Structure 1
Amino acid sequence: MLRITDVLMGCLFGDLMIDLNEFKKVTKILIEKEMQRIGLTHFQFFESKSKGKSWDWTSLTGPDKLIMLQHFDVTKFIAGDRGKKISLLWKEFFNLYQFLRKDSFSDSEINSFEINAKNWIKLFCEPTIGKSNSINQRRGMFNPTDITPYMHIFVFHIPEFLRKLQHKGLNMRQFSTSSIEKKNHLHVKLFFGGTTMGGGNNSNDNSVLHDILSFENRQLYYLMNDTSRCIKQRIIRPNP
Structure 2
Amino acid sequence: MATLTIDTLGGDKQFSAYRADPAAPPRAAVIVIQEIFGVNAGIRAKCDRLAEQGYLAIAPDLFWRIEPGIDLNPDVPEEMERALDLMGRFDQNLAIADIEATIRAARAAVPGGKVGAIGFCLGGRLAYMTAARTDVDASVGYYPVGIDGLLGEKHAIARPLMLHIAGADGFVPAEVQAAMHAGLDDHPRVTLHDYPGEDHGFATELGKRRSDAAARLADSRTDAFLASTLA
RCO higher in 1 or 2 (8 Å CA, sep ≥ 6)?
A: 2
Structure ranking higher in helix proportion: 1
TM-score, normalised by the number of residues in structure 1: 0.27
Structure showing greater radius of gyration is: 1
TM-score, normalised by the number of residues in structure 2: 0.27
Structure ranking higher in strand proportion: 2
